[in-house]
Amino acid sequence: MKDLNEYEESEKLIYLQALISLAHADGIHDAERQYIAIQAQCVGLSLDTMWEVPDLPDRELLRELPDCLRNILFRDLVTLGYIDNDLSETEWKRIEELALLMDYPLEKVVEIECWLQDYWLVLKRGEALFAV
């Protein structure tokens, strides 16, 4: 899987726009704001003017994202949805909306969600196992 820094700046902006759009779906929580800020910092982009633009990115621009970045985006959208320990119905609808806009299979989004839940469970088990 490619690193986010390997993508074009325009692609990284669309990625961040999609995350911000999801965060706005049910009101931005502090944990969501932190997660998005870290993602922006990792790709070297400023969020200064992006917080006020909760609209979905342009459909054609979303569809032009490389397949690997589309997968990363949905992994991170699901992660962001759960970051406050509650993927709300409003957030799930926004994820579905993005999937439809991008012609991204909803079944794959569900598969990514299941994979993440399994992954998080393994991490929790590891934390308990190695707790001092």
Domains (range + CATH), the chain: 4-130 (1.10.3680.10)
Between 107 and 57, the more confident residue is 107
In this predicted structure, the answer to whether residue 1 has a pLDDT above a threshold of 80 is: no
* H-state helical runs in the chain: 9-25, 30-42, 59-63, 67-82, 89-102, 106-130
Q: Give CA angle at 87 (123, 39), nearest 5°.
A: 65
Question: What pLDDT is recorded for position 7?
Answer: 94
Q: What is the pLDDT of residues 11-63, one digit of tens each?
A: 999 999 999 999 999 888 999 999 999 999 998 888 887 777 667 888 899 99
In this predicted structure, the answer to whether residue 2 has a pLDDT above a threshold of 70 is: yes
In this predicted structure, the answer to whether residue 108 has a pLDDT above a threshold of 70 is: yes
Question: What pLDDT is recorded for position 41?
Answer: 92
Question: What pLDDT is recorded for position 111?
Answer: 98
Confidence of residue 86 (pLDDT cuts 50, 70, 90): confident
Question: What pLDDT is recorded for position 49?
Answer: 73
Question: What pLDDT is recorded for position 110?
Answer: 98
Closest CA to 26 of 54, 62, 58: 54
Q: Please say whether the beta carbons of 92 and 130 come within 8 A.
A: no
Residue-level length of the chain: 132
Question: What pLDDT is recorded for position 46?
Answer: 85
Closest CA to 13 of 93, 69, 71, 95: 69
- Other beta carbons within 10 Å of 85: 7
